[in-house]
Amino acid sequence: MKEEVVYCGIDLAKDQLDVVLEHKHWQVSNQKAAINRLVKQLRKRAGIHVICEASGGYEQLLVCALQQAGVALSVVQPNRVRQFARATGILAKTDRIDASVLVRFGQALKPAATKALPEPVRQLRQLDRQRGHLRDVLTAEQNRLLQLRDLELRSLQSALIRQLSEQIALIDQRIKTLIAQDQILCLKAQKLTSFAGVGARTASLLLARMPELGQLNRRQVAALAGVAPFKRDSGTMRGKRYIFGGRRHLRRDRSADGLSGRGHGDERVALGGETDGVDLRQLVRRELPTRRDGRRPP
C-alpha cells in the first residue's frame, strides 16, 4: 500500500521559521540547534514532505539538515507560490499564511523532491556566488572612481579596487583547485572547454549554476538556462517569441563577466559597452546537450 504523503510548509526568514503541519502552526529559530530539533520532530512523522521557498540563502541550514536526515524536501520558486496563492484567491500575506499556502501548493502540485548537491558542487556554487557579489561591488567601485576628483579619495578608492580584484583572483584560484581535485567536475570541465568559445570561467559558471548538464535534452537545457523562446499565441494572433524564466543568474553573470566567446577559450572582462550574448544561446541550445555517445539528444 502506497504511503500517504503529508506536506509540511515552512516559511523562512532571517531569524525564524514558520512551520505549518496538519493545521498546526509554530515558530522555530533559524539557528542550527533549533533546526536540528525540528528535523528530529519531523522525522517521526511517516510520509513527511517539506515544502519551502528559495529565500536568498536563509534556507541553506534547513535544506542541508533535512537532506542529511533523509527527509523529503522541495525547494520551490517564490513567484510560483505567490501566483498559486493569487489563483486560489489568497491575497493576504503573512508568514503564517505563506506557510499554509506552501502546504496547499504541495498538495495540489506535488513537486518533486529537490536532490541534494554533492559537496564539491555545493562548495563551487558558494564560491561562484561570492565571486559574483565581489564582481558587482568591483563594478560599482570602478564607476565611483570615475566620479571622484579629490586625489586622496582617488588613492583610497584605487586601493579598494585592487583589494577586490585580488579577492576575485583568489576565489578564481580556489575554483580552479576545487575543479581539478574532483574527478567528476574535472571531467565535465574538460568536455565544456572543448567547445569553441568556452574557457575556464564559463565552464566553472556552468558547473556551478547548471549541475544537471549531461542529464537533460537540448530543450530542457535551454529552458533551464532561460534562453528558450516561448510562444505567445492567441487565436489567429501569432506573437513574438521571447526568452523567459530559467536561472537568471546564469545569464546575468555571463553578461556581466563580459565573456565574448568569439574564439576558442577567449575570455575577457569588459570594462564598458555591451558584450555579445549570442554565444550563450547557441551554446546551450546546440552544443552543450550532447550525450555520452557524442550524439545530440532529441
DSSP string, 32-80: HHHHHHHHHHHHTSTTEEEEEE--TTTTHHHHHHHHHHT-EEEEE-HHH
3-state secondary structure of 164: helix
Domain positions in the chain: 6-109, 119-287
Confidence of residue 287 (pLDDT cuts 50, 70, 90): low
φ, ψ dihedrals at 17, nearest 5°: -120, 135
Question: What pLDDT, on the 0 to 100 scale, is given for residue 201?
Answer: 87
User: Does residue 212 carry a pLDDT above 60?
Assistant: yes
Compute the distance between CA of residue 141 and CA of residue 153 in angstroms, rounded to an integer.
Answer: 12
Compute the distance between CA of residue 145 and CA of residue 161 in angstroms, rounded to an integer.
Answer: 9
Torsion angle defined by CA atoms of residues 125, 131, 132 and 137, in that order, rounded to the nearest 10 degrees: 150
Task: Flag whether the pTM goes above 0.75.
Answer: yes
Q: Residues 17, 11: contact at Cβ < 8 Å? A: yes
92-121, pLDDT tens digit by residue? 999 999 999 999 999 999 999 999 999 999
Confidence of residue 254 (pLDDT cuts 50, 70, 90): low
Compute the distance between CA of residue 32 and CA of residue 41 in angstroms, rounded to an integer.
Answer: 14
User: Does residue 268 carry a pLDDT above 50?
Assistant: no
Compute the distance between CA of residue 25 and CA of residue 8 in angstroms, rounded to an integer.
Answer: 10
User: Region 72-90: what's the mean pLDDT?
Assistant: 95
Give the distance, in angstroms, between the CA of residue 89 and the centroid of all CA atoms in the same chain: 29
User: Does residue 123 carry a pLDDT above 70?
Assistant: yes
Q: Cell triple for residue 40?
A: 528530529
40-62, pLDDT tens digit by residue? 999 998 899 999 999 888 999 99
222-231, pLDDT tens digit by residue? 888 777 788 8
Q: Cell triple for residue 92?
A: 493576504
- Residue 202 CB contacts under 8 Å (≥ 6 apart), including other chains: 192, 254, 259, 261, 267
- Residue 183 CB contacts under 8 Å (≥ 6 apart), including other chains: none
Residue 192: C-alpha distances to residues 66, 143, 178, 205 (Å): 32, 33, 16, 11
Q: Which residue has the higher pLDDT, 257 or 244?
A: 244
Instruction: Report the CATH number of the 6-109 domain.
Output: 3.30.420.40
3-state secondary structure of 238: strand
Question: What pLDDT, on the 0 to 100 scale, is given for residue 260?
Answer: 40
Question: What pLDDT, on the 0 to 100 scale, is given for residue 111?
Answer: 95
**Which parts of 88-214 fold into alpha helices (H)?**
95-109, 119-145, 151-181, 183-193, 200-209
Q: Cell triple for residue 205?
A: 559558471
Q: Residues 199, 192: contact at Cβ < 8 Å? A: no
φ, ψ dihedrals at 9, nearest 5°: -100, 130
Question: What pLDDT, on the 0 to 100 scale, is given for residue 273?
Answer: 30
Question: What pLDDT, on the 0 to 100 scale, is given for residue 135?
Answer: 94
Confidence of residue 232 (pLDDT cuts 50, 70, 90): confident
Q: What is the DSSP code (8-state) at residue 285?
A: I
User: Region 219-247: what's the mean pLDDT?
Assistant: 83
Question: What pLDDT, on the 0 to 100 scale, is given for residue 293?
Answer: 43
User: Region 69-91: what's the mean pLDDT?
Assistant: 95
* Rg, Å, the chain Cα set: 22
Question: What pLDDT, on the 0 to 100 scale, is given for residue 278?
Answer: 35
Q: Which residue has the higher pLDDT, 221 or 62?
A: 62
User: Does residue 2 carry a pLDDT above 70?
Assistant: no
